[in-house]
Structure 1
């Protein structure tokens, strides 16, 4: 049992599960105390958090390879969502291709324990490469 308490990731997940259990019990009690109240949205949110924590915990606790793949896919989807809400020009498409290609490269560096390069890859090299690509395309408007 003490070995379990030595792992900070497992401790964090245990705290989150305890908070979700508390929220689930409170939601159940609220439904019983105020049957006329509309707690459907609260219940749906708690259920969705249970699903998210189950997926997140499974990815973190299975193996390092699964964790890297999970966070890589999550990063890709988050970037895709971000790009869908920002205004884009036609010339930005090529640059976005390069930006999308950096996501797997970043996680390959993590998987190969190249933390020194991982730390500077996007903030230094990619933020230098992407504007340089726009300059090569002779598109400096809006900079």
Structure 2
């Protein structure tokens, strides 16, 4: 938070929120507390709280950021799992998931041990989950139940954890302390794309893209809102290691990934018979309703950026010596 450019970004968002708050108050004073305006006020207030929490995590350094995203993963996975009934046979599996697999994943990420970060969930956890569920002896809808847990862990934990990993991404000519701006850029552009698509969809939306999956998503909202978010992202190239042209391409990638991430998670949500993932954030639904667009945007941006700059995370962040010594001691070596 000592980076002047990061402070400019934060100040810009705060200024927008102040304007949004004033406009909302004026509209309510003029038209009264209609359902639409009450929802708008709830959304703006929720954005204030989310901005405060996000910036507080940045102020605490890498440890604060990884702790913040570990908590978000826990809350998101909890919403995902509790949205549908969980058979008794899966209870012990979920205990392992919440209190061992998830925390260890963020330990490996924060250490950082990049190799284990990559394979801990898609290899070790995905092998362990069906084994533990099979040992419970409940075979009814076994494949469906196991796949649901694995999908929740993949999206809510593994995909989301790529966002704090941006703090470790080696970029030539870019001080690693500046990587917080890259994280801010991803979150800002992706979330702005959601807001712009919602606004333009309400104003000009006529052609629904997938009405049975997400009735509010329209072709006009995606086109105009995505273009607006891409322009804003391009204008912020000075806070990134990208040229204006590359910043435009990366912003477009975030818009597309965010849109399809939200669409896929809406399809999952509808298949479970729910409108929202939860009620934890007034005006926004649950935590997962606010994070769904970031689930696809985070890992795609992380790996595309790493490929663009030719970084080798596995070489830069091999197993830390302290972790190597601890594992040898635990194994009796």
* Alpha-carbon distance change, 11 to 124 in structure 1, aligned in 2, over 3 angstroms: farther
| Secondary structure, counterpart of 1:81 in structure 2 | helix
Shift of 1:26: 2.0
- Judging changes above 3 Å, is the alpha-carbon distance between structure 1 residues 135 and 29 closer, same or farther for their aligned structure 2 residues? same
Report the equivalent of 2:70: 72
| Equivalent of 2:61 in 60, 63, 66 | 63
- Relative contact order (C-alpha < 8 Å, sep 6+): which is higher? 2
What residue is the counterpart of 2:22 in the other structure? 25
* 1:1-143 alignment, distance < 5 Å: 4-5=4-5, 7=6, 13-32=10-29, 34-36=30-32, 38=34, 39-100=37-98, 101-142=100-141, 143=143
Deviation of 1:113 (Å): 0.8
- Cα distance in 1, alignment partners of residues 89 and 49 from structure 2: 39
The 2-side partners of 1:106 and 1:11 are apart by 33
Unaligned runs of 5+ in 2: 144-333
State the 1:35 CA deviation.
4.6
> How far apart are 1:55 and its partner, in Å?
0.9
* C-alpha distance in structure 1 between counterparts of 2:127 and 2:13, whole Å: 39
Task: Count residues in correspondence.
Answer: 137
SS in 1 for 2:53: helix
What secondary structure does 2:88 align onto? coil
RMSD: 2.3
